[in-house]
Amino acid sequence: MKFLRQVLTIGAAWVLAVTTAAFAGLPLETTTTQATKFEIMRNGQASGSVGLAQGAQLEVIALDGAYVQVRYRNLTGRVPAAHTELAALALAMNQAPAAPAAQPEPVVETAAAAPAPEAPTVMSRRLQGKLVRLQGNSLQPHEAGRLNGVKFYALYYSASWCGPCRQFTPRLVDAYRSLRNDYPEFELVFVSADNSAGDMKDYMKNDRMAWPALKYDAIRSSGEIMQYCGDGIPCLVLVDEKGKVLSDTNRGGNYVGPQMVLDDTRKLLQKYRQKNPRPNS
């Protein structure tokens, strides 16, 4: 069975991955068990590679011999099955990955030859172990590996009881889809001012927040994150990986609103891409 390797949209790619994995009886997600190399596939050919750290979460498309076809962020490609939690399943299906030394293809490398795990940045250290994301009807841990490569963080201070917040959030939801697709170096983090953890979860679910959030019980102890919030919400603050403020809802003692920060974010990311083109783009 041959699987479609090109899709027209990110949504179509996810539907393909879910349908294929479900048909094959595979889990919809897997995690790397060691540092490995993710080969980017385009038109059936390897067009580049990305080093993944242990614990990186991948969307499963299919088992393919010694490899697992997966999606990582907005890229489609493959990783060695032996380097994921699907290794045992691959063996059970008589698709055991060959040892790297016996594999004649030059694209197969041992874990030792893969790029070293990315060093944590100031912001990733501040957020490590404190993030959750909506999965189904519950909030689940957001793996630290998902922050690898993130260079820009938009911190969104908001609450379900805040009328202006509820007006702005749908616009932010729409903007996030395109920004995250075009700029995997960007991530948005929700910092709740809700009255309870349940209210926070309902807000994320009802407004379809696809981005991670600071754990409700970690908010008060996260002074390094709360320091960016002004006196009012909604408050949106864009910082770089070192924690430097690039755009703020509060400027010179004046509240200018989150839309101006969102506009600034688009401009800054466009300038960043001009100086840092994506590989094979």
Most confident of 49-53, 54-58, 102-106, 224-228: 224-228
Other CB atoms within a 10 A radius of the CB of residue 239 amount to: 21
SS3 for the chain, per residue?
Answer: CCCCCCCCCHHHHHHHHHHHHHHCCCCCEEEECCCEEEEEEECCEEEEEEEECCCCEEEEEEEECCEEEEEECCEEEEEEHHHECCHHHHHHCCCCCCCHHHCCCCCCCCHHHCCCCCCCCHHHHHHCCCEEEEECCEEEECCHHHHCCCCEEEEEEECCCCHHHHHHHHHHHHHHHHHHHHCCCEEEEEEECCCCHHHHHHHHHHCCCCCCEECHHHCCCCHHHHCCCCCCCCEEEEEECCCCEEEECEECCEECCHHHHHHHHHHHHHHHHHHCCCCCC
Confirm if 239 and 246 have CB atoms less than 8 A apart. yes
Please calculate the CA angle 143-147-232 and round it to the nearest 5 degrees: 100
Range of the domain at 241: 122-275
Mean of the pLDDT values across residues 56-80? 86
In a domain, 190, yes or no: yes
Q: Which of 55, 87, 113 is the last residue of a domain?
A: 113
Residue 40 is predicted with a pLDDT of: 87
The tens digit of pLDDT for each residue in 173-202 reads: 999 999 999 999 999 999 999 999 999 999
- Contact between residue 134 and residue 209 where contact means Cβ atoms under 8 Å apart: yes
Q: Could you say which of 113, 132, 157 is where a domain stops?
A: 113
- Tokens 């600071």 label which residue? 214
Q: Are 96 and 80 in contact (CB under 8 A)?
A: no
Q: How confident is the model at residue 10 (pLDDT cuts 50, 70, 90)?
A: very low
CATH code for position 203: 3.40.30.10
Domain assignment present for 48: yes
Task: Provide φ and ψ at 76, rounded to 5°.
Answer: -110, 135
Give the pLDDT of residue 46. 77
Mean pLDDT on 134-153: 92
Which of 53, 79, 113 terminates a domain? The answer is: 113
Output the domain CATH number for residue 54: 2.30.30.40
91 with 74, same domain: the answer is: yes
Are 139 and 251 contained in the same domain? yes
CA distance 196 to 30: 32
Residues ≥6 apart with Cβ < 8 Å to 138: 201
Q: What is the pLDDT of residue 21?
A: 56
